[in-house]
Structure 1
Amino acid sequence: MPRVIVDSAIYRDGHRTDGPADLSDALAEARATGDAFLWVGLHEPTAAEFGHVASEFALHPLAVEDALKAHQRPKLEVYDDSLFAVLKPVVYEPESDRVTSGELMLFMGDSFVVTVRHGGGAPLAEVRRRLEDDPGVLKHGPTAVLYAVSDTVVDHYLDVATELQVDLEELETDVFAPSGGVPTGNTAERIYTAKRQVLEFRRAAGPLAGPLARLTAGSVPFVNEPARPFFRDVDDHLLRANEQVEGLDRLLTDMLSAHLAQMGVRQNDDMRKISAWAAMAAVPTMVAGVYGMNFDHMPELHWVWSYPAVLCLMAGIVMGLYRTFKRRGWM
């Protein structure tokens, strides 16, 4: 199992200790002392690889199936011998302005924690290092791991929301740029793309409110009762993140409506200009068409100044129309 297990260690009184390489022996050693727990981290295990771990820790088959298939909503499920939690970390890619999500499954039981990571965005190595540097928190056992993981994931939601806010401010500047400004790229397409990123974010952060509410309320097996205030803090951060996401989604909807309205206004302006030019072109065409018929009983055809007079007439009418359209803002 060396390939799939990223890290494995026994933690006693908040300090990491070396334990047996065999998971069964390591779990038995952690349970023997009563003040220790085993934390095993896995990355994208196969069914056979995770089957070995599941049998050692007696994990529920339904939870094992969810951990292997991934593509789960954030949730918290309680089984007889373990607690199963699913979180969806998000990552912002500044090069492509995209939001991608991974999946993080956490099993908690009697003196053990098993974390399973799928995709990117799961900073478990960072969480483990931070906990190992703070024995005062780590000595609270598996509950400390659940708190630290959820706190890190939710705090990263706030960072990603801030990055999205910056992108949307730039997009908003393009949408409401003055008529002389030159928009960058297809604005409507960029708005729809941004809405897709916000939707991906909402799928990760929104459903997590239910599990955190249960942890905040307490009475969840395998979770220490004194940890409720800490999960309440995480829930507060999640509420802020969800409020930011809702605000970003409303802002994008408003920007799309404003952009479509502006396009309609521009099209109306263009139609007015085209109509004005067409009207001015129609006048000399009409006059020239009348005199081009060459009727015999048109005395002005024989006048010496008829040709310049007709030209002046056409120019005068066109100039009159131009001034009228200009005054009304059609030109």
Structure 2
Amino acid sequence: MVMIDNAVYVAGRRVASPAGIEQTLPVLAEYPDGFAWVGLYRPDETELRQLATDFDIHELIVEDSSQGHQRPKYERYGETTLTVLRSAHYVDAEERVDFGEVHVITGPRTAVVIRHSEAPNFAETRRGLEADPTRLAEGPEAVLFAVLDEIVDGYEPVMAGLENDVDEIEDALFAEGHEQSQRIYQLSREVIAFQRAVTPLPAMLAAIAARMPATALEQRRRLRDVGDHAVRVIERAAGYRSLLENALTVNTALVGQRQNDETRILTEASLRQSEEMKKISSWAAIIFAPSLIGSVYGMNFHNMPELSWEWGYPFSIGLMAAFAGALYWIFKKKHWL
């Protein structure tokens, strides 16, 4: 387990930074009005169980947090809540979306943020809250709201990257020789995964708002702002999915059209070759008949009929011409010539 940061806050200000998790509760006991914010990176089940023992965390939370790969959700276990969020980061060099997972465990005096991926790094989030003691004085809920805001704000660059990818696909659809089915399918999978990450957010935010006191007006405003961002992201993701479905349909039609064109071209070429073969075969047959007659009479056997006949030569020439003329007339009538 890697501990990213560990601090105790009183009235929104850092008063202690315990070196280890086992020191957090003793330090926290010295400040009855404070709360602890612990940041962890990929703890294993044994470490989480020790954390659960120290901070009185429900065993089901330990099970979910140790396994990872959870759907976004907000669950309450007595005074402790578990919020599972899916972060997203657009990798420009590879033109893909990298998804992460964040678990936020909040209790009356503790906020434990567990990262199961490299991004996002909540160091800036912590510094931003520490620079605003009024917000941080709200306790563990302030940490939860800040993490929610950070993750939802991180969706905007992802949407910009996906929008650029969709535009590239639309531009490439009608480019000659560019088949886009694989790229459209890959991007559709990313958009669907993104929808699974963001679609549960409105219900989660509503559940969080339902257990907030009516007097927490500023917290409710911030929660509504996060909710508005989430709704916009959900709507844009739905639009991208619809565009990709249409693009896949158009791409399939274009591929079919190109295949039909190629088949037509091949058929036309085959027909032209067939016509040429008819002509070649016709002339070969016409030439074959005189050649056959000439070769028979050219054998020079003494006892051949017509060998000594006075009209033998004109007869053979006439026979050759008759055969050739007859074959030419037949092939011409069949439009082979």
Deviation at 1:226, TM superposition (A): 4.6
Q: Which residue of 2 aligns with 1:194?
A: 187
Are 1:15 and 2:7 matched, yes or no? no
Aligned partner of 1:27: which letter? L
Q: Among residues 215, 228, 236, which one is paired with 1:236 in the alignment?
A: 228
Deviation at 1:224, TM superposition (A): 5.0
Please list, as runs of the form range in 1=range in 2, the aligned pairs for 1:242-281 lying within 5 A after superposition: 242-281=234-273
Are 1:286 and 2:278 matched, yes or no? yes
Deviation at 1:154, TM superposition (A): 0.5
Q: What secondary structure, in the 3-state scheme, does the structure 1 residue paired with 2:154 have?
A: helix
Aligned partner of 1:189: which letter? Q
Counting aligned pairs with the same residue, the percent is: 34
Please list, as runs of the form range in 1=range in 2, the aligned pairs for 1:72-221 lying within 5 A after superposition: 72-177=70-175, 179=176, 183=178, 187-216=180-209, 218-220=210-212
Q: What secondary structure, in the 3-state scheme, does the structure 2 residue paired with 1:123 have?
A: coil
Q: Which residue of 2 aligns with 1:301?
A: 324
| Whole-Å separation in 2 of the counterparts to 1:210 and 1:143 | 17
| Whole-Å separation in 2 of the counterparts to 1:60 and 1:282 | 81
| Whole-Å separation in 2 of the counterparts to 1:234 and 1:202 | 16
Deviation at 1:269, TM superposition (A): 1.4
Deviation at 1:297, TM superposition (A): 8.3
Q: Which residue of 2 aligns with 1:40?
A: 38
How big is each residue's C-alpha offset from its partner over 1:93-121, in whole Å with a ceiling of 9 and x where there is no partner?
Answer: 11111212111111111121111110122
How big is each residue's C-alpha offset from its partner over 1:10-59, in whole Å with a ceiling of 9 and x where there is no partner?
Answer: 112221112555122123234x1x2x211111111122222222111100
Q: Which residue of 1 aligns with 2:315?
A: none
Residues 87 and 104, structure 1, Cα contact 8 Å, conserved in 2: yes
Q: Mark the structure with the bigger radius of gyration.
A: 2
Q: What secondary structure, in the 3-state scheme, does the structure 2 residue paired with 1:7 have?
A: strand
Deviation at 1:159, TM superposition (A): 1.4
Aligned partner of 1:187: which letter? Q
Aligned partner of 1:247: which letter? G
Deviation at 1:246, TM superposition (A): 1.1
| Whole-Å separation in 1 of the counterparts to 2:48 and 2:325 | 105
Please list, as runs of the form range in 1=range in 2, the aligned pairs for 1:21-36 lying within 5 A after superposition: 21=19, 22-30=23-31, 32=32, 34=33, 36=34
How big is each residue's C-alpha offset from its partner over 1:218-266, in whole Å with a ceiling of 9 and x where there is no partner?
Answer: 2258x95652221111111011111111111111111111111001111
| Whole-Å separation in 1 of the counterparts to 2:139 and 2:58 | 21
Residues 15 and 132, structure 1, Cα contact 8 Å, conserved in 2: yes
Q: Which residue of 2 aligns with 1:322?
A: none
CA gap 1:136/1:90 in 2 versus in 1, 3 angstroms: same
| Whole-Å separation in 1 of the counterparts to 2:118 and 2:269 | 59
| Whole-Å separation in 2 of the counterparts to 1:199 and 1:225 | 35
TM-score, normalised by the number of residues in structure 1: 0.82
Deviation at 1:72, TM superposition (A): 0.4
Instruction: Select the structure with the greater relative contact order (CA < 8 A; seq sep ≥ 6).
Output: 1
TM-score, normalised by the number of residues in structure 2: 0.80
Q: Choose 198-207 or 144-153, whichever is displaced more.
A: 198-207
| Whole-Å separation in 2 of the counterparts to 1:162 and 1:138 | 31
Aligned partner of 1:207: which letter? P
CA gap 1:52/1:225 in 2 versus in 1, 3 angstroms: farther
Q: Figure out how many residues of one structure are paired with residues of the other and give that number.
A: 298
Residues 23 and 56, structure 1, Cα contact 8 Å, conserved in 2: no
Structure 1: 5+ residue runs without aligned partners? 318-331
Aligned partner of 1:78: which letter? R
Q: What secondary structure, in the 3-state scheme, does the structure 2 residue paired with 1:63 have?
A: helix
Residues 86 and 99, structure 2, Cα contact 8 Å, conserved in 1: yes
| Whole-Å separation in 2 of the counterparts to 1:219 and 1:24 | 26
Q: What secondary structure, in the 3-state scheme, does the structure 2 residue paired with 1:96 have?
A: coil
Are 1:68 and 2:60 matched, yes or no? no
Deviation at 1:128, TM superposition (A): 0.6
Q: What secondary structure, in the 3-state scheme, does the structure 2 residue paired with 1:45 have?
A: coil
| Whole-Å separation in 2 of the counterparts to 1:147 and 1:205 | 16
Q: What secondary structure, in the 3-state scheme, does the structure 1 residue paired with 2:196 have?
A: helix
CA gap 1:293/1:144 in 2 versus in 1, 3 angstroms: same
